[in-house]
Amino acid sequence: MQTERKKITIAQPTGKLGILIPGMGAVTTTFLAGLESLRRGLYPPYGSLAQMGHIRLGRRDLGRQPRIKDVVPLARLEDIECAGWDVFPDNCYQAAQKAGVLTPEQIETVKDYLCAIQPMPAVFDRRFVKKLDGPNVKRGKTLWDKHLMLEEDIAEFRARTKAQRLVMIWCGSTEAYQTLSSVHETLEAFEHGLKNNDPAISPSMVYAYTALKNRIPYINGAPHFTTDIPALLELAHLNGVPIAGKDFKTGQTLMKTIIAPGLKARLLGIDGWFSTNILGNRDGEVLEDPESFKSKEVSKLSVLDTILQPELYPELYRNINHIVRINYYPPRGDNKEGWDNIDIFGWMGRRMQIKINFLCRDSILAAPLVLDLILFTDLAQRANMPGIQEWLSFYFKSPMTAPSVYPEHDLFIQLTKLKNTLRYIIGEEMITHLGIEYYHYFE
Ligand SMILES: NC(=O)c1ccc[n+]([C@@H]2O[C@H](COP(=O)([O-])OP(=O)(O)OC[C@H]3O[C@@H](n4cnc5c(N)ncnc54)[C@H](O)[C@@H]3O)[C@@H](O)[C@H]2O)c1
């Protein structure tokens, strides 16, 4: 059955696309160095579906497999301008050196570009990120004043770059875990809270409020709540702005959402899944704080349940011991090492084990996601798709969804969803993989 189709009008991506980034640490500087290197033709866009990926259009025997970027009207890399905020005043060249993700040669090659990006003073509150303290912060009496300062920053950036469209993407530290409170419930309460410094409003919420108020799409790369609160959802709908999140799906959780669907597909049972990591970057240091780790843990733990559906398969998945640990271990820097031990069982209950040792570079995995997310979210804005962008679940550990549905965590379902959404937007047929049209079964 084909979904009922509407003709979708997509505004063309003319002019500059401005990217605003709260948090200019490892992920951001790796993204920026990579973006500029791509523009200079130094590397293929490894890891970017928007740039490298192909999409099948129509029947399989037609052989139509164009690149996504050749059939979907995405912004051109040459048209992207970037700016951001950070608690530390280092320019992006210095921050990239400190992050230690790229080789010195890779950083030197784009030194001029990185040096020119100087973080603007941040909206920051140590209560939400206990492990950090830096001097490059906005001073203002109320959160409302700080919101107005962010608006000034954005207006200045817009005027300087002549950006016609903007997207904001949070690549800042993980904020402390929090639950919903009354100030988050309505836009009115939230705005009142900004003016009265309500302690339940986090800095990321001030950035997001400023973005949505100015009709700028907002993407959350970290696991904490930001646009998940009713007040900001309300604002996104009121102003017709896309939002997407949360927590970039890289490293161990990426592996988990690749392996778990396979085990489930073969109906292999799981007794336990023990995941542990060592990492030594600033993200690891921030996550040493139990409250920041709690945000991460909630995000990391949620994936297995929705993939494995223990309510449908109690014999296989009812009693999984799922444990996630992150250990801050400075010698390792950004080169995280993750171990997974999976205890599984099969035919006649015989037990087996799987061990995964992933020596990954987190920011190398995250940078292409930043690129894809800004390009696709800008597309969503131009295609008039306000609110939650569930079709971008592919990129997140804790995908935002409509309240009536559970999130899809299976990477392959997420990829199908993303590609079908692109087909839908550009007016192509959905692909169901049924495939009986190539045979003669029911004639
Ligand atoms: N690297 C990955 O693969 C990955 C995966 C999933 C999620 N994330 C999340 O992405 C975020 C960035 O990761 P990273 O490795 O670049 O971390 P990082 O520590 O290198 O960079 C974060 C930067 O944010 C800044 N910051 C903190 N609070 C801020 C605020 N209120 N305003 C502006 N700047 C602020 C910090 O000073 C720091 O420079 C983290 O929340 C992390 O959990 C990263």
Share above pLDDT 70 across residues of the chain, in percent, rounded to a whole number: 99
Give which of 152, 161, 165 is closest to 210, Cα–Cα: 152
138 CA distance to ligand 1 centroid (A)? 18
Compute the distance from residue 157 Cα to the ligand 1 centre, in Å: 22
pLDDT bin (cut points 50, 70, 90) of residue 268 is: very high
Burial status of residue 265 (CB atoms within 10 A of its CB: 0-12, 13-18, 19 or more): exposed
What whole-number distance in Å separates Cα of residue 293 and Cα of residue 160?
A: 38
pLDDT one-digit tens code per residue, 189-246: 999 999 999 999 999 999 999 999 999 999 999 999 999 999 999 999 999 999 999 9
Ligand 1 centroid – CA 223 distance (Å): 10
301 confidence band (pLDDT: 50, 70, 90): confident
Same fold, 16-248+364-425 and 251-359: no
> Could you give the percent of the chain with pLDDT greater than 90?
85
DSSP line for 260-286 = HHHHHHTT-EEEEEEEEEEE-SHHHHH
- Structure confidence at residue 3 (pLDDT): 53
Q: Name the amino acid, one letter, at 409.
A: H
Q: What's the gap in Å between 170 CA and the centre of ligand 1? A: 8
* Strand-pair partners of 217: none
List CB contacts of 335: < 8 A, sequence separation 6 or more: 279, 280, 359, 360, 361
pLDDT recorded at residue 1: 46
Residue located nearest, by CA, to atom 30 of ligand 1: 124
Q: What is the mean pLDDT of the chain?
A: 94
Ligand 1 interacting residues, C-beta cut-off 6 A: 22-27, 85-88, 99, 122-124, 129, 132, 134, 171-174, 203, 221-222, 247-248, 250-251, 281-283, 286, 362-363, 365-366
pLDDT tens, residue by residue, 320-360: 999 999 899 999 887 889 999 999 999 999 999 999 999 99
pLDDT digits (tens, 9 = 90+) for 386-402: 999 999 999 999 999 99
Out of 90, 123, 173, give the residue to mutate to test ligand 1, the one with the largest number of ligand atoms within 8 Å of its CB. 173
Q: Which residue has the tokens 């161990």?
A: 252
Pairing of the two strands 337-345 and 242-245: unpaired
pLDDT of residue 169: 98
pLDDT at 4: 64
What the block records as the tokens of 199 is 């302690």
Helices in 309-410 by DSSP H: which ranges? 314-317, 362-382
Q: CATH code for 16-248+364-425?
A: 3.40.50.720
Domain edges within the chain: 16-248+364-425, 251-359
Inter-residue contact 270 to 344 (CB < 8 Å) = yes
Mutation to probe ligand 1, out of 27, 120, 129 (largest number of atoms < 8 A from CB) = 27
Q: Is the pLDDT of residue 293 over 90?
A: no
Q: Atom 42 (ligand 1): residue with closest C-alpha?
A: 222
Pocket perturbation via mutation, ligand 1, pick of 283, 324, 360 by most ligand atoms within 8 A of CB: 283
- Residue 208 region by backbone torsions, left for phi larger than 0, else alpha for psi between -120 and 50, else beta: alpha
pLDDT, residue 217, reads 98
pLDDT attached to residue 149: 98
CA of 22 relative to ligand 1 center, distance in Å: 9
Q: How far apart are alpha carbons 101 and 99 in whole angstroms?
A: 6
Whether residue 298 is predicted with pLDDT greater than 50 in this model: the reply is yes
What digits encode the pLDDT tens for the residues 122-136? 999 999 999 899 999
CATH class held by domain 251-359: alpha beta
Cis preceding-peptide flag for 419 (omega within 30 of 0): no
